[in-house]
Structure 1
Amino acid sequence: MKFKFNLTYFVLTVLIFLTEVLIATKLKDIFFVRAYLGDVIVVILLYTFVKSFVRIDDQKLIPGILIFSCLVEFAQYFHIAEKLGFRPGSLMYIVIGNSFSWIDILCYAIGCLILYLIIKMNPYKTGKLHK
């Protein structure tokens, strides 16, 4: 692991973040998008965010993101946002979440699988194209 800024991943992070904001604010009435797609995309957001600042092996990062996401989800079971003093509706309350769901964990796993497949098919990583 080495600290190094990557502009491409940073731009992707900003774009994915804006997509998440759009989902949370404008597409919130479309149940499938708000309830499931947002959770699939959030792990991709975490991946691009980390890759914006750190050079790290994807084989370590993707499982790490899945574990982190699951830990946050399990913390929701114990209402950690409330215990930390965040008020319902506050930004941190929304970011941390307030209700545990096995479906969310499945969505995180699907997002990580999508990441893995995208990386596996990347011609630069597989050696099919020269850098």
Structure 2
Amino acid sequence: MRFHIGYALLTVALLAIELLIALFVRDAIVRPYVGDALAVMLVYAGLRAVTTLRVVPAALVAFGVAVVIEFSQYFHLLDHIGLGGNRWARIILGSGFDPQDFVAYAGGAILVLLVERYRRASRAAAGTRTVSPSSESSSTI
């Protein structure tokens, strides 16, 4: 296990944005699609903050988490476990199945991969060495 402060700060920022969207945005684009793409990025950043998962595996796990949560909505999991009326559970885990959400999740995962590829290319172009997860400047927990 490790702790990477940059990804941890990104996780907190994305969580704040997601909560603001969930609580205050009522539209047909930002809340359902941008919010879903950001959710995948949030899980990705959280994984990278506390694990040694590399970019592609972390992005795949984040996408997988989103897919599992979406299917839990299809099966009304929150209702079955007694949390259907809990506002925070519905904000965090969602409340309605929409197959179009899978596109937003894939978009979030693809955006993560593109940003990470850009970051790596930028470091290489600047003449800095690329950093492996085991040698990144982070604290081991």
Q: Give the structure 2 partner of residue 17 of structure 1.
A: 15
Percent identity over paired residues = 25
Q: Give the structure 2 partner of residue 41 of structure 1.
A: 38
Q: CA RMSD in A?
A: 1.7
List runs of 5+ in structure 1 lacking aligned partners.
Answer: none
Tell me, in whole angstroms, the C-alpha distance in 1 between the residues paired with 2:91 and 2:10. 22
Tell me, in whole angstroms, the C-alpha distance in 2 between the residues paired with 1:69 and 1:4. 23
Contact kept? 2:22, 2:91, Cα under 8 Å: no
How far the C-alpha of 1:64 sits from its partner, in A, is 1.6
How far the C-alpha of 1:7 sits from its partner, in A, is 0.9
Tell me, in whole angstroms, the C-alpha distance in 2 between the residues paired with 1:101 and 1:9. 29
| 1:73 alignment partner, SS class | helix
Query: Which is bigger in relative contact order (C-alpha 8 A, separation at least 6)?
Result: 2
Tell me, in whole angstroms, the C-alpha distance in 1 between the residues paired with 2:123 and 2:107. 22
Aligned residues: 128
Q: Give the structure 2 partner of residue 8 of structure 1.
A: 6
1:45-94 Cα shifts (integer Å, max 9, x gaps)? 10111111112111211112112211111111110011111032431233
- The one-letter amino acid of 1:18's match is A
Contact kept? 1:120, 1:126, Cα under 8 Å: no
Contact kept? 1:23, 1:38, Cα under 8 Å: yes
Judging by fraction of residues, say which structure has more helix.
1
Structure 1 residues 55 and 124: CA distance shift in structure 2, 3 A: farther
Larger mean Cα displacement after TM superposition, 60-69 or 116-125: 116-125
Q: Give the structure 1 partner of residue 134 of structure 2.
A: none
* TM-score normalised over the length of structure 1: 0.88
Work out which of the residue numbers 53, 57, 70 in structure 1 matches 2:54. Answer: 57
Tell me, in whole angstroms, the C-alpha distance in 2 between the residues paired with 1:38 and 1:87. 21
